[in-house]
Amino acid sequence: MEYLDGIVLGIETSCDETSCALVRGREVLSNVVSSQAALHMKWGGVVPEVAARKHTEALLPALERAFEEAHVSFDEIRGIGVTNRPGLVGALAVGVAGAKALSLAWKVPMLGVHHLEAHILSPLMAEDVPFPHVCLLVSGGHTELILVRGAGMYEKLGGTIDDAAGEAFDKCARAMGLGFPGGPAIQKIAEKGDPHRYKLPRGLSDPNMNFSFAGLKTAVLKLIEKEKDSLDVPSLAASFEEVVTSVLAERTFYACKETNAKAVTLVGGVAANRRLRSKMDELSKRYDIGFFAAPLSLCTDNAAMIAHVAAWRLSFGERDDLDMETLSSAPLPGLQATGIVSE
Ligand code: KG4
Ligand code: ZN
């Protein structure tokens, strides 16, 4: 990938992480992430209005820290990338307003970045991943299998037909009384449980490139109700984690074989899950297919991955004006129709 010559500032405020980062091409100079998770914990999920207000408080301190940590001054910035889609519009608007003001003041180009494209390209910041590869994108709002033919050339192979994987983690963790965000909470308590104690549904029959987690969630809720005090929570968390991660890993490698892709990547918040990473590692060895997981610091939402996409897209002249929009949903740029039929 070609990159803009010089340092690019990235800003991310699409959900509950306020983040500012500085990159030079794919090199991360600083990546400051200020999480609001503790604030949203008492509600069991992200409250959009609260998130937006918190971003206004946290954005400029995060910006200052990103410059301090990188030992960079404002006049060294050659471009700005900001998440402008998809996400919570009120939250996005804070980052976008900040980026517009800085672009005007510093007289540097600015680009709105698609949050999911930033996740998809994040493994390329650490390694030379061959194309085409199959990307498993698993976050709080998305679970998708994407064939990445090159940067900016994507085909959707499949995805969830109901809940996203992260959403399933969050909802089941809440039902088990484990708090928010659910992924890390389930991972922690699952270490003490037996992953084969409870039999849970995999959703949709194999082989498949699509996922369904709604039935699994219902099964977990029913078990909690039925077992009451005799419920073995660590084993339920482990059994849940086992079924979700097996389904995700197996279907991703199936998609890779079906499309003759050269490698598999794993990105998004759920990609931080240890059991998922080790299952994918195991399948990569079994099938002799390269596997590249995004580095942990780039899995959950962060501005370095946003700046990385901007550094690349700005290099061939893409720009946005000061009237740039913020959008709650938007197609991936460069998404092409796929020749592959999946059900
Ligand atoms: O990508 P992300 O930070 O935000 C979105 O764009 O959605 O993903 C957040 C999701 C949450 O659902 C959270 O529970 C999940 O990622 N997550 C995990 C882990 N860490 C975060 N899920 C499973 N295991 C983890 N270790
Ligand atoms: Zn994300």
Rounded CA-CA distance 9/4 in Å is 12
Rounded CA-CA distance 32/121 in Å is 19
Tell me the backbone φ, ψ of residue 24, rounded to 5 degrees. -125, 105
Neighbours of ion ligand 2 (CB under 5 A): 139, 301
Q: Is 213 in the pocket of ligand 1 (CB under 6 A)?
A: no
Closest residue to atom 22 of ligand 1, CA basis: 183
Rounded CA-CA distance 85/68 in Å is 28
| pLDDT tens digits along 259-297 | 999 999 999 999 999 999 999 999 999 999 999 999 999
CB 127 within 8 A of CB 292: yes
Q: What is the pTM of this model?
A: 0.95
Determine the distance separating the centroid of ligand 1 and the alpha carbon of 319, expressed in angstroms.
30
Q: Is 273 in the pocket of ligand 1 (CB under 6 A)?
A: yes
Buried b (16+ CB within 10 A) or exposed e, 78-110: bbbbbbbbbbbbbbbbbbbbbbbebbeebebbb
Among the listed residues 154, 184, 190, the one whose alpha carbon sits nearest the alpha carbon of residue 265:
154
| pLDDT tens digits along 199-228 | 999 999 999 999 999 999 999 999 999 999
CB 204 within 8 A of CB 212: yes
What's the residue count for the chain?
343
Rounded mean pLDDT, 5-33: 97
Determine the distance separating the centroid of ligand 2 and the alpha carbon of 117, expressed in angstroms.
10
Local confidence band at 46 (pLDDT 50, 70, 90 cut-offs): confident
Determine the distance separating the centroid of ligand 2 and the alpha carbon of 115, expressed in angstroms.
6
| pLDDT recorded at residue 340 | 52
Rounded CA-CA distance 244/290 in Å is 22
Rounded mean pLDDT, 144-156: 97
Q: Is 16 in the pocket of ligand 1 (CB under 6 A)?
A: no
Start-to-end CA distance of the chain, whole Å, equals 33
Q: Closest ligand 1 atom to the C-alpha of 165?
A: 12
